[in-house]
Structure 1
Amino acid sequence: MERKDKVDHALAKVPEVTLVFWIIKIAATTLGETGGDAVTMSMSLGYLVGTLIFATIFIVAVIAQIRAERFHAWLYWITIIATTTVGTTLADFADRSLGIGYAGGSSILFALLLVSLFVWHRVMGSVSVSTISSPKAEMFYWVTIMFSQTLGTALGDWTADTAGLGYTGAALIFGGALLLLVIVYYATHISRTVLFWCAFILTRPLGAVVGDFLDKPVANGGLAMSRYGASIALVVFIAVCMVVFRQRPARTAH
């Protein structure tokens, strides 16, 4: 009984996956794009410095999340936003500063993501978020999320720029893919864990192209919004969602 209580206690730090979860996730990934670009481009700090700044925030947030004794929605989403901002700057640094390119960066990150999921499954026996019951499992969870967020940035940029689909076209592609996952979820019995990670990965490139659409110049297909203004608006939107729609901890796996 004592061990079960400890497991339930740990799992309470992971939010229940609902429609609100996905809405906030997409907003958070969009914020990661505008916020990351605000620091690296608008502040002219560059991709390397921006990555170091957000990586520090990410590490601090993950440590706080793991050490927390119960679920804190604000702490959880701050950590998610930290992963998506560092994912933005890290992907841009690899793609542009190191010259790896969008296709190369996406391939490397996809391989790292698969390795992370594989090792997680081999060590813990499952990659389902409902089985996160120890600091080790949480570390796998956040490392996997980190890779997925970085991959999403590179994939979104590659689709919008290199593939020539533009921000609107890329948004339609990733939005359509998410809609297809919803249909598959309700029409089939495919593993919910597989569908969760597919959706989690796809929301990042969707947020990336939406973020670029908001702040890129009109000549490049964007709306030319201020990166600061767009970021503040997204922060307010996320905060309102969290206040209006209270999130519950995920159900435990027995």
Structure 2
Amino acid sequence: MKHLPQINLFYWALIISANTMGETAGDLISQTFNLGYGGGTIALITLFLIALIISICSNSQKPLLYWMVVTLASTAGTTISDFISRSFFHLELGFTENEGYTFGTILLTAALLFIFGIWKYHSKTNTIENGLNKRTEFLYWIAILTSSTLGTAFGDLLAHNTPLGFEGGTLLLLLLLSVVVGLVYLTKISRELLYWSAIILTHPIGATMGDYLTKPEGMNLGNINASLLLVVVFIVVIATGQLTKNRQFN
């Protein structure tokens, strides 16, 4: 059985950093590198599946591999979401781009609920706390990929279909995330339910933050500069977490 990395402040900081980096890197691959949403999705899904197979075949949880799969899931989720919302619903079916975000969000919510249903059918225990076998680890990563895709679609929905925009959408999602954190400390609600609630919220947070960094409506850094900045932030968070961990054992 494999256990997740210790779920603490640094874990969630890395999750948000990876999701934000995934948003900008996904746009970098599909837009700046001109692979398109379809080509970018194929390339990133291939890399994700390779990393997923390596992770499942590994006998122990390796932190570097874990965060690599998280980042690839977030990056692939960005291009998949854009392909569903913009290419499929908008360009192929003729809906408006804003309607594409709405239909994409509904479709991906249903897909995520379906995956959770399969997971609960195969595992009656709290696998987040008790560990993952090979089957539940596979379902865990598919749920992470799907929630990443949903997060991008929902983040776009908030930013484009509501008056909140990128900045307001991010603030609202951070507020909702703080409510989930409060429930962890103040209630006895299932920790697995709260974990996935937080995971689902961190993906659109990363999507809206990434768009705020890259788009003209935000800081207008562009995909390349924003991606480089977020790689540095990701490394700093990892280094800070490792230094803190080392000091605790000294």
> What TM-score does the superposition give when structure 2 sets the normalisation length?
0.90
Q: Which of the numbers 9, 13, 31 marks the counterpart of 2:21?
A: 31
* Residue correspondence of structure 1 range 203-242 to structure 2 within 5 A: 203-217=202-216, 221-242=217-238
1:47 touches 1:97 (CA, 8 Å); kept in 2? yes
More displaced stretch, 105-114 vs 118-127: 118-127
Number of equivalenced pairs: 235
- Report the equivalent of 2:45: 55
Question: Deviations 1:80-122 (Å, cap 9, x if unpaired)?
Answer: 0000011000000010001260111111111111111111011
Task: Give the superposition deviation at 1:232.
Answer: 1.5
1:177 & 1:76 partners in 2: Cα distance? 26
2:70 & 2:144 partners in 1: Cα distance? 8
Mark the runs of 5 or more structure 2 residues left unpaired by the alignment.
Answer: 91-99, 246-250
1:67 & 1:137 partners in 2: Cα distance? 13
Root mean square deviation of aligned Cα: 1.5
1:120 touches 1:126 (CA, 8 Å); kept in 2? no
1:117 touches 1:127 (CA, 8 Å); kept in 2? no
2:56 & 2:236 partners in 1: Cα distance? 25
2:103 & 2:144 partners in 1: Cα distance? 20
Q: Which of the numbers 73, 76, 91 marks the counterpart of 1:86?
A: 76
- Report the equivalent of 2:67: 77
- Report the equivalent of 1:67: 57
- SS of alignment partner, residue 223 of structure 1: coil
- SS of alignment partner, residue 224 of structure 1: coil
2:132 & 2:223 partners in 1: Cα distance? 38
- Report the equivalent of 1:151: 150
More displaced stretch, 194-203 vs 118-127: 118-127
Bigger relative contact order (CA 8 A; separation at least 6): 1
- Report the equivalent of 1:252: none
Amino acid at match of 1:138: E
- Report the equivalent of 2:172: 173
Name the % identity.
Answer: 36
- Report the equivalent of 1:126: 125
Question: Deviations 1:11-31 (Å, cap 9, x if unpaired)?
Answer: 3xx211111000000000000
